[in-house]
């Protein structure tokens, strides 16, 4: 019985955590999606402490969706873009201006 209670507790949503030495994530809709959909299994500090390429972020987000993260395709794109822009392993990606839609 205790094991069942512990297992149930470990699956409960974890609050977003900030790391003192990590970059503070900028606000925005994609951050809200990350806080809502990713912190159920791990802290957001786990995400924000990583630096990956756009392809690696896309693969990671897809893996999380395959494991049960509930993100629609457009939400996945938003999260991947946000993570690539703000938590890239390439300095150029982190400083590149966001694409602006055509008029």
Q: What is the pLDDT of residues 49-69, one digit of tens each?
A: 999 999 999 999 999 999 999
To the question of domain 13-95 being in CATH 1.10.760.10, the answer is yes
Confirm whether pTM is higher than 0.95. no
pLDDT digit string, tens, across residues 8-32? 444 445 455 444 445 688 998 999 9
Long-range pairs for 5-14 at CB < 8 Å and ≥24 separation?
A: 11/40, 11/41, 12/40, 13/39, 13/40, 14/39, 14/40, 14/41, 14/42, 14/43
Domain boundaries, the chain: 13-95
């Amino acid at each position: 019985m205790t094991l069942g209670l512990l297992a149930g507790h470990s699956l409960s949503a974890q609050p977003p955590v900030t790391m003192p030495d990590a970059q503070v994530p900028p606000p925005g809709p994609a951050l809200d999606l990350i806080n809502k959909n990713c912190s159920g299994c791990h802290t957001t500090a786990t995400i924000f402490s990583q630096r990956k390429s756009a392809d690696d972020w896309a693969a990671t987000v897809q893996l999380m969706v395959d494991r049960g993260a509930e993100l629609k395709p457009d939400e996945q794109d938003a999260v991947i873009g946000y993570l690539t822009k703000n938590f890239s392993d390439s300095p150029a990606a982190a400083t590149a201006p966001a694409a602006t839609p055509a008029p």
